[in-house]
A = this chain, B = another copy of it.
C-alpha cells in the first residue's frame, strides 16, 4: 500500500531508489474507523498523515461550544495540525475520520532527520506546501467575494462527488454558516 505514496511523490520529484526507500520505511500504516480521532485538541501532534483512502475533517470548538470545520482531507492528501506539529505545542484542532480510513504516518523526528539531508524530499514538501497555499488563497478569495448560497453552489460544482460523502452539517460548517441555512438553500432552487 506504500505504492500509493510512492506514486504521489514521483508525480512531483525524482528521488533515487534509496532515498525513496528510506522515506517509505519511515512511515507506518494505520487503520482508523469512522468517528475516531487522529488528533485531539490539547494533544501534541507528533505525526504527519498521508491519506490512502477515506475521509477526514479537522475542526475546532469555539467559545459557544460549536464545532467549526476548517478543512477536509481525502485520498492523497497530507494532513496534520501544522502549528502543533512544527512548533511542538498542544493542538487547537481535532482531526477526525469521517469514513473508515487508512493512512500512512511519519513521526516528526524521522521526518526532520530525513529533511535534514535529502534534497528531493525538501523539494517534495515544498511543492506540497505551495499547492496548499494556492488552494487556500483561492478559498479565501471565494469567501471574500461570494454569498453563502453562491459558495455552496460553487463548492457543489467543483466537488460533486465529495458532497455526497459527508453529512450536510459538516459542509455547512466548512462553508461558514449553519446547517439550518444550508437546508434552506437546498429547499430553494428546485428548478
Interface of A toward B, CB cutoff 8 Å: 60, 62-63, 68, 70, 82-83, 86-87, 92, 115, 117-119, 122-123, 125-126, 129-130, 132-134, 136-138, 140-141, 143-145, 176
With A138-B83, A141-B92, A144-B62 as known contacts, state yes or no: A123 contacts B133, CB within 8 Å: no
The answer to whether A145 and B68 touch across the interface, beta carbons within 8 angstroms, is yes
The closest CB in chain B to the CB of A138 belongs to: B83
**B-chain residues with CB within 8 Å of residue A145 when the two chains form the complex:** 60, 62-63, 68
The answer to whether B134 and A133 touch across the interface, beta carbons within 8 angstroms, is no
Partner of A86, one of B63, B130, B138, B140: B130
**B-chain residues with CB within 8 Å of residue A82 when the two chains form the complex:** 130, 133-134, 137
Could you give 27 example pairs across A and B, Cβ below 8 Å? A60-B145, A62-B145, A63-B145, A68-B141, A70-B137, A70-B140, A70-B141, A70-B144, A82-B133, A82-B134, A83-B137, A83-B138, A115-B123, A115-B126, A118-B119, A119-B119, A122-B122, A125-B126, A129-B130, A132-B133, A133-B136, A136-B136, A136-B140, A140-B140, A143-B143, A143-B176, A144-B176
Q: Which 9 A-B pairs have the closest CB atoms?
A: A129-B129, A122-B122, A62-B145, A126-B126, A68-B144, A83-B134, A119-B119, A82-B134, A136-B136
The closest CB in chain B to the CB of A66 belongs to: B145
**B-chain residues with CB within 8 Å of residue A123 when the two chains form the complex:** 115, 122
Question: Please, how many angstroms separate the alpha-carbon atoms of A144 and B137 in the complex?
Answer: 16
